[in-house]
Amino acid sequence: MVRKIARRGKLAKKPGKTRHQGGGRPAAKTIETSLQATLLALLAKQTGAMTVAEIMAALHLIPPQLPLLQKNLLQLTDAHRIEKKGKRFALAAPPEALRATLDLTAKGFGFAVIEGEAKGGKDVFIAPHNLGGASHGDAILVTVTGTARGRREGRVIEVLNRAVTKFCGIFSASGAGGHVTPDDDRLPYTVLIRRGDEMGAGDGMAVVAEITDYGSERQGPTGKILELLGDSRTVKVQIRMAIIQSGLRETFPAAVLEAADQLTAVTECTDDRKDLRHLPHVTIDGETARDFDDAICVVQTENGFTLYVSIADVGHYITPNSPIDQEAYLRGTSVYLPDRVLPMLPERLSNNLCSLVPDQDRPAMTAILTFDQQGQRIDQRYCKSLIRSRQRFTYTTVNQLVYLNDPLVRAAHADLTPMLELAKELTALLKAQRRKRGSLEFNLPESLIAIEQDHIASITLAERNQAHLLIEDCMLAANEAVAETLAKARRPVLYRIHQYPDLTKLDTFTDAAKALGLHLPQSEVNPGWFALVIAQAKGSPTEYIVNNLLLRTMQQARYSPENAGHFGLAADFYLHFTSPIRRYPDLVAHRVLHAMLLGASAEIGRLPFPEEGKNLVEAGVYLSQCERKAIDIERNVHVRCAALFLIDRIGETFGAIISGVTAFGLFVVLDDCYISGSVPLTTMTDDYYLHDSRRYRLIGERSNRMYQLGDRVNVRLDNVDLLNKRLTFSISTDISSEPLPKNDGEPA
């Protein structure tokens, strides 16, 4: 559909003039208000419903007043103050109050997520004037007032609990103190800071503030400053603001640190721990990694290969429901930011006792997986083990050693090269097996943020070489094997499930793919279908767009005790086992696997839930939320760093690709650094543009100039809004779009 877009002030109609004619109009409004109050009072006294005639008689109304009565009855009915039962009217029953959590948007409206309702349904829409003073994340009581466009609408009738009592923002000074504008655009207010409560904050300083009085709809909230953060244009302050906004736990309680300090290292084998120190295990991680929770070793066999995947035995050190365990569960996952890590476990565990550092004996849980010459798994065994890593390899070194065949690197690691060559051979077979069944291999580049002296030195694409894929293939193999083993043993555990894509989003993707010129497979939509689309786009200028759009059609992977399979991997069984230092669900798998090895039952009481009454379903929901929160803050920090990186480059021109087309303008992604921003339609003043929603393009009404999804353009940076984390561009020199012919043979 092509829709004409009217520019405000140019194509929009001028507002008409209004005036009161005579003096009767305001008086009529007063009569109607008074009549509605009288009607409500009358109906409140009745034990049954009343007809219009009965109401007329009771209020001593005359026939000429009938239209006015009917109008007021209709208004009260629409407002759900009264209800119509056939030809009779009565007071409406009190509205049902539903407990919910408010998800507020930056545009001022919100959605009430009703407690107890199944996921996937439509939440209740709350218009700005129906928020009742509620803010993002608040626990509320909401009543449904009607439906519109297939979605329930409602209003907030009570705020039960405030989600935000402490927040960070920018202080603006004034003679009477000042006010703080929240750093989170979902908090639609400024907070008054009275003189004496500003802690000496300077104008424009980033601060942490507390709301002491939420005020009313007429008067905004009041608060006081708790902490001075400093200059908001520095990386350290921006990342700290993101952490505060997310509510992540920055420090460990004293009891947890004390418990960690009392742990002793495992250095000897026991009856239940197999000695695997003779095997040439190695770890392969990034250059900056400090916690090494997985090591591999590959051995040639007569019929194929044996892969040893040894994972740090975190479960040995952490007793269920201990202080360390409770804190780890509350965190759910480690969070990795450009200048720091917020770990799930205290440093004594994550970087010392549990870390598989080279030349040190370390306890592990080892999956011993046997494969034939085609890469098919033919056997699997598991044990608690003691290993000794031979080398801490980086991805760069392993890539140089086995894929680039660098002679100097191979000579330096001659003793381990044969083992790594076997790993290369095996993982190539494993990858081929996964491709055969339709496993998806998304190629979405990640940004690498370099910080120097508290400033962003660069934002580049993180390198992803063959060594990354080698270790990834080994971890996938272990995760699948453990999941299948526990499923067939009927052991309760948290699976990593990924369900069939959203059908509505899939329809949207197919439209976008056709606009990009892709020829979609004429077959059943399954993992193999997606794999063919990804393969078709590989190496093309639109590869990033296609991968990103495809990923958006997917449902979010999550943790669940019900094994629903993993669509993206085309795997019937999958869970997380290989990273217990940084993910709590992996620790769950370790404990359940250990219980199976011992032949012990896995009662819920032994499963890792610090909170009373928790079960696997609730734990899966909570840990999935922890993962989502970690992803959100990582994205939040990225957009903050992107804004800081470009804040002094306004006016510069960048190459970009159009990643989205809407009636309000374009979204673009900059080349090389993959920073995203928008090109508002208001900046495209050379023409009036038509929005072709089916083909994802804007078309100039006079020039037929076209801007389409996937086109390459040059854009000029016009504005960096650090507070709202928004980058605004305008089209500079278009380097790829050609004017659209006057008649292209396609219906508009």
Residue 283 has a pLDDT of: 98
Q: Is the pLDDT of residue 613 over 60?
A: no
429 and 348, same domain (yes or no): yes
Q: Is residue 192 part of a domain?
A: yes
Q: What is the mean pLDDT of residues 583-608?
A: 80
Picking from 387, 335, 337, 331, the residue whose alpha carbon sits closest to that of residue 358 is: 387
DSSP 214: -
Structure tokens at 397: 């070194």
50 and 130, same domain (yes or no): no
Rounded CA-CA distance 186/102 in Å is: 11
624 and 651, same domain (yes or no): no
Q: What's the mean per-residue pLDDT of the chain?
A: 88
Q: What is the mean pLDDT of residues 437-466?
A: 87
Q: Is the pLDDT of residue 743 over 70?
A: no
Reported as a pLDDT band with limits 50, 70 and 90, residue 96 is: confident
* 190-199 pLDDT tens trace: 999 999 999 9
Residue 738 has a pLDDT of: 40
Beta bridge partners, 156, equal: 142
* 367-386 pLDDT tens trace: 999 999 999 999 999 999 99
Residue 1 has a pLDDT of: 54
Half-sphere exposure of 478 (CA within 13 A, CB side): 30
Q: Is 140 exposed, middle or buried (0-12, 13-18, 19+ CB in 10 A)?
A: buried
Residues 6+ apart with CB under 8 A from 137: 101, 102, 103, 104, 163, 164
Q: What is the mean pLDDT of residues 216-235?
A: 90
190 and 132, same domain (yes or no): no
Would you say 362 and 387 are in contact if contact means Cβ atoms under 8 Å apart?
yes
Reported as a pLDDT band with limits 50, 70 and 90, residue 442 is: confident
What is the SS3 assignment for 1-70?
Answer: CEEECCCCCCCCCCCCCCCCCCCHHHHHHHHHHHHHHHHHHHHHCCCCCEEHHHHHHHCCCCHHHHHHHH
Reported as a pLDDT band with limits 50, 70 and 90, residue 506 is: confident
444 and 341, same domain (yes or no): yes
Residue 428 has a pLDDT of: 97
Residue 24 has a pLDDT of: 37
Residue 746 has a pLDDT of: 37
Question: In terms of residue numbers, what domain contains 157?
Answer: 98-161
Structure tokens at 125: 């829409």
Out of 110, 129, 161, pick the residue that ends a domain: 161
Structure tokens at 691: 């929005």
Reported as a pLDDT band with limits 50, 70 and 90, residue 95 is: confident
Half-sphere exposure of 246 (CA within 13 A, CB side): 26
**Sign (positive or negative) of CA dihedral 513, 518, 519, 523:** negative
H or E segment and range at residue 320: none
Residue 632 has a pLDDT of: 93
Q: What is the mean pLDDT of residues 610-636?
A: 86
Would you say 607 and 486 are in contact if contact means Cβ atoms under 8 Å apart?
no
Question: Tokens 């503030």 map to which residue?
Answer: 209
Out of 116, 142, 161, pick the residue that ends a domain: 161
Q: Is residue 1 part of a domain?
A: no
Question: Looking at per-residue confidence, does 577 or 520 come out higher?
Answer: 577
Q: Is residue 511 part of a domain?
A: no
Q: Is residue 509 part of a domain?
A: no
DSSP 350: I
Q: How many domains does the chain fold into?
A: 5
* 284-323 pLDDT tens trace: 999 888 889 999 999 999 999 999 999 999 999 999 989 9
Q: Is residue 394 part of a domain?
A: yes
Q: What is the mean pLDDT of residues 696-716?
A: 93
Buried b (16+ CB within 10 A) or exposed e, 448-463: ebebeeeebeebeeee
Rounded CA-CA distance 669/677 in Å is: 7
Q: Is the pLDDT of residue 431 over 50?
A: yes
* 347-360 pLDDT tens trace: 999 999 999 999 99
Listed in order, strand segments (DSSP E) in 413-557 are 447-452, 455-461, 495-497
Question: Looking at per-residue confidence, does 552 or 486 come out higher?
Answer: 486
Out of 73, 91, 109, pick the residue that ends a domain: 91
Picking from 684, 494, 688, 657, the residue whose alpha carbon sits closest to that of residue 588 is: 494
3-state secondary structure of 606: helix
Structure tokens at 247: 């509510």
Residue 26 has a pLDDT of: 38
Q: Is the pLDDT of residue 445 over 50?
A: yes
Q: Is residue 545 part of a domain?
A: no
Reported as a pLDDT band with limits 50, 70 and 90, residue 685 is: very high
271 and 329, same domain (yes or no): yes
Residue 194 has a pLDDT of: 94
Residue 5 has a pLDDT of: 52
Residue 118 has a pLDDT of: 62
281 and 219, same domain (yes or no): no
Which range has the worst mean pLDDT, 76-80, 403-407, 484-488, 739-743?
Answer: 739-743
H or E segment and range at residue 425: helix 417-437
612 and 662, same domain (yes or no): no
Residue 44 has a pLDDT of: 86
Residue 9 has a pLDDT of: 36
420 and 461, same domain (yes or no): yes
| Pairing relationship of beta strands 2-4 and 689-692 according to DSSP bridges | antiparallel
Q: What is the CATH number of the domain that holds 713?
A: 2.40.50.140
* 650-669 pLDDT tens trace: 999 999 999 999 999 999 99
Q: Is the pLDDT of residue 28 over 90?
A: no
Which range has the worst mean pLDDT, 93-97, 136-140, 329-333?
Answer: 93-97
Rounded CA-CA distance 518/258 in Å is: 59
Would you say 492 and 607 are in contact if contact means Cβ atoms under 8 Å apart?
yes
Q: Is residue 15 part of a domain?
A: no
Residue 163 has a pLDDT of: 86
Q: Is residue 51 part of a domain?
A: yes
Would you say 357 and 292 are in contact if contact means Cβ atoms under 8 Å apart?
yes
Residue 30 has a pLDDT of: 42
272 and 143, same domain (yes or no): no
Which range has the worst mean pLDDT, 212-226, 398-412, 453-467, 728-742?
Answer: 728-742
Sheet holding 2-4, edge to edge: 2-4, 689-692, 697-700, 706-708
Rounded CA-CA distance 444/427 in Å is: 21
Which range has the worst mean pLDDT, 61-65, 93-97, 250-254?
Answer: 93-97
Question: Looking at per-residue confidence, does 733 or 129 come out higher?
Answer: 129
138 and 282, same domain (yes or no): no
Structure tokens at 481: 């094997």
Which range has the worst mean pLDDT, 95-99, 466-470, 612-616?
Answer: 612-616
Reported as a pLDDT band with limits 50, 70 and 90, residue 93 is: confident
Residue 537 has a pLDDT of: 84
Count of helices and strands (H, E) across the chain: 17, 35
Picking from 560, 539, 536, 564, the residue whose alpha carbon sits closest to that of residue 550 is: 536
Q: Is the pLDDT of residue 405 over 60?
A: yes
Question: Tokens 């999550």 map to which residue?
Answer: 558
* 164-188 pLDDT tens trace: 889 999 999 998 889 999 998 888 7
Q: Is the pLDDT of residue 17 over 50?
A: no
Residue 119 has a pLDDT of: 58
Is the whole model's pTM more than 0.85, yes or no? no
Reported as a pLDDT band with limits 50, 70 and 90, residue 608 is: low
260 and 147, same domain (yes or no): no
Q: Is the pLDDT of residue 23 over 80?
A: no
